[in-house]
């Protein structure tokens, strides 16, 4: 006989554990299932370890620049990759172990370790066990996409997951993919000491950002010696001796590049192909993402999908927010929705990019009457004092309602400073509220009111 629960949660990523706690607190009998590492992508192979490594890379970069600050470091700066990995592993495992313990001690919650599969709309099998519930929450996340590419089967390659085991310096690293994951790894390995070539199929890096952001990101990376190969439309790979050769078919430069190691960072795919969704009748889209409505209900009553697997977000904060939305709807009589969420994220190259709301290009495309202001980081005292003046901040405002439509802060502290803009957007307050706020000196945020004083009509 299957064991009966009030709720089953599949996956311990960013939404599942929070939701387990909310449900269990009401007295519901909850089961949560994890097939591999507690905490999922963010804790084990995503945000936490990469940002720990970004911090090591920043330390190496700053040490090399010590002379700029009047500090003398006798001898060359070197990086001990084993210690970089040990530090990263310690930070990740603290988080993973803490979460596992917390879940295992949670009252009214039973943890299953194994691969979950639907046997029917209300029944899940985990190994030899079967469990049932009227409410099932899918939080299975995603993994690196490895699309078929000519010659890929002839060469060995890394993904964000296998990069976690790298405790040596790849002498010459080819990174395929010029978006968030590829750029973060690319810059950090350059700073560790690798020669790095970033290969991107599109005409510019981070193609979803405005062109000025892409150009400034490219400047930041090339200033550190990262090679960029854009427009690599016809990618293929081959082994040549000990080397990996990537055929590029670029518009410019020789049409191949070579390296000792290859990292694929070309996107993500949802972990929905081995979940038995067809046994439950849960609909997925053409790319395997589970189709959900604005309150995260799937096509089958009693089954919800949260986090990266529903394609509504691709970040830790969006997955966690999915858990809040479902909990609010089920437990608090509060009809929160995904559409209440303002897109916001950061790109953790150094200096980072903090982004909120619409890009300038999206505002133009929508044909909205808008005002725009921009300020280079060279005119931000805090950045000058810190000796980190790359990048700029930009904001776009609706000319009629005076509400802020979107902003980008590419520069030191940009990942934090963006929140004062984001919060005003959530408050739906006019930009003048922020313009009149008196911010602390010297900070990056203090220049946001000043920048708002320079708003100009967005012209063609
Ligand atoms: C390199 C990298 C860096 C990133 N950096 C950031 C960042 O800085 N900021 C940010 O916001 N986001 C970042 N992200 C994205 C972020 O990691 C994800 O958006 C987030 O982890 C998604 O969480 P989730 O809850 O959807 O699922 P996940 O965290 O992926 O968790 C899903 C869990 O479900 C388990 N599972 C899957 N299938 C089954 C099954 N059938 N049975 C049982 N268990 C199963 C998995 O083992 C996993 O533990 C990064 C991602 C990568 C790859």
How does pLDDT run along the chain (460 residues), one tens digit per residue? 899 999 999 999 999 999 999 999 999 999 999 999 999 999 999 999 999 999 999 999 999 999 999 999 999 999 999 999 999 999 999 999 999 999 999 999 999 999 999 999 999 999 999 999 999 999 999 999 999 999 999 999 999 999 999 999 999 999 999 999 999 999 999 999 999 999 999 999 999 999 999 999 999 999 999 999 999 988 999 999 999 999 887 555 568 999 999 999 999 999 999 999 999 999 999 999 999 999 999 999 999 999 999 999 999 999 999 999 999 999 999 999 999 999 999 999 999 999 999 999 999 999 999 999 999 999 999 999 999 999 999 999 999 999 999 999 999 999 999 999 999 999 999 999 999 999 999 999 999 999 999 999 999 7
As for ligand 1, residues whose beta carbon falls within 6 Å of it are 10-15, 33-37, 40-42, 46-47, 50-51, 115-116, 139-142, 160, 181, 271, 275, 307-308, 314-317, 319, 348
Distance from Cα 41 to the centre of ligand 1, integer Å: 3
Q: Pick the atom of ligand 1 nearest to 160's CA.
A: 1
Alpha helix (H) residue ranges in 65-105: 81-105
- Ligand 1 atom with minimal separation from the 15 CA: 25
The CA-atom distances, in angstroms, between 225 and each of 196, 240, 293, 350 are: 8, 25, 45, 14
User: For residue 281, what is the DSSP state?
Assistant: T
Quick one: pLDDT at residue 252? 58
pLDDT value at residue 234: 81
CA nearest 357: which of 459, 450, 426?
426
- Residues 6+ away with beta carbon under 8 Å from 132: 2, 3, 4, 5, 8, 122, 123, 124
Which residues, at least 6 apart from 235, have a Cβ–Cβ distance to it below 8 Å? 149, 150, 176, 199, 201, 246, 247, 248, 249
Residues in Cβ contact with 75 at an 8 Å cutoff, skipping those fewer than 6 apart: none
Expressed in angstroms and rounded, the spacing between residue 324 Cα and the centre of ligand 1 is 17
Q: Please say whether the beta carbons of 45 and 92 come within 8 A.
A: no
Catalytic annotation on 441?
yes
pLDDT for 255 equals 85
Long-range interactions of 336-342: CB distance < 8 A, separation 24+:
336/295, 337/294, 337/295, 338/292, 338/294, 338/295, 338/296, 338/312, 338/313, 339/294, 341/313, 342/422, 342/425, 342/426
């Amino acid at each position: 006989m299957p064991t009966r629960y009030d709720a089953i949660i599949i996956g311990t990523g960013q939404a599942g554990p929070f939701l387990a706690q909310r449900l269990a607190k009401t007295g519901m009998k909850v089961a949560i299932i994890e097939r591999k590492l507690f905490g999922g992508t963010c804790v084990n192979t995503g945000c936490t370890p990469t940002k720990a490594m970004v911090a090591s890379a920043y330390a190496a970069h700053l040490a090399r620049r010590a002379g700029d600050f009047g500090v003398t470091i006798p001898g060359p700066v070197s990086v001990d990759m084993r210690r970089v990995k040990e530090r990263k592993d310690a930070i990740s495992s603290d988080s993973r172990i803490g979460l596992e313990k917390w879940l295992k001690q949670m009252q009214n919650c039973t943890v299953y370790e194994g691969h979950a599969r639907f046997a029917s709309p209300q029944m899940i099998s985990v190994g030899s066990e079967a469990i049932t519930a009227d409410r099932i929450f899918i939080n299975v996340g995603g993994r690196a996409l490895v699309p078929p590419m000519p010659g890929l089967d002839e060469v060995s390659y890394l993904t964000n997951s296998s990069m976690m085991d790298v405790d040596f310096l790849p002498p010459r690293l080819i990174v395929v993919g010029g978006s968030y994951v590829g750029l973060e790894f690319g810059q950090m390995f350059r700073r560790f000491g690798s020669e790095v070539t970033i290969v991107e199929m599109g005409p510019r890096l981070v193609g979803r950002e405005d062109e000025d952001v892409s150009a400034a990101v490219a400047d930041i990376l090339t200033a550190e010696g990262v090679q960029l190969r854009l427009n690599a439309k016809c990618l293929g790979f081959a082994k040549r001796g000990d080397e990996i050769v990537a055929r590029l078919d670029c518009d410019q430069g020789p049409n191949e590049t070579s390296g000792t190691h290859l990292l694929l960072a070309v996107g993500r795919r949802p972990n929905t192909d081995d979940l038995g969704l067809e046994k439950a009748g849960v609909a997925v889209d053409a790319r395997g993402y589970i189709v959900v409505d604005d309150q995260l209900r799937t096509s089958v009553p009693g089954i919800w999908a949260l986090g990266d697997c529903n394609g509504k977000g691709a970040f830790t904060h969006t997955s966690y927010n999915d858990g809040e939305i479902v909990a609010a709807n089920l437990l608090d009589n509060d009809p929160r929705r995904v559409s209440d969420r303002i897109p916001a994220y950061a790109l953790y190259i150094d200096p980072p990019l903090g982004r909120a709301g619409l890009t300038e290009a999206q505002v133009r495309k929508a044909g909205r009457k808008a005002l725009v202001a921009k300020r280079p980081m060279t005119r931000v005292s805090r950045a000058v004092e810190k000796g980190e003046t790359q990048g700029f901040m930009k904001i776009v405002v609706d000319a009629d309602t005076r509400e802020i439509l979107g902003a980008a802060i590419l520069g030191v502290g940009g990942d934090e400073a963006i929140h004062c803009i984001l919060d005003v957007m959530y408050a739906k307050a006019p930009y003048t509220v922020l313009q009149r706020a008196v911010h602390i000196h010297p900070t990056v945020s203090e220049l946001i009111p000043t920048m708002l004083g320079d708003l100009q009509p967005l012209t063609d």
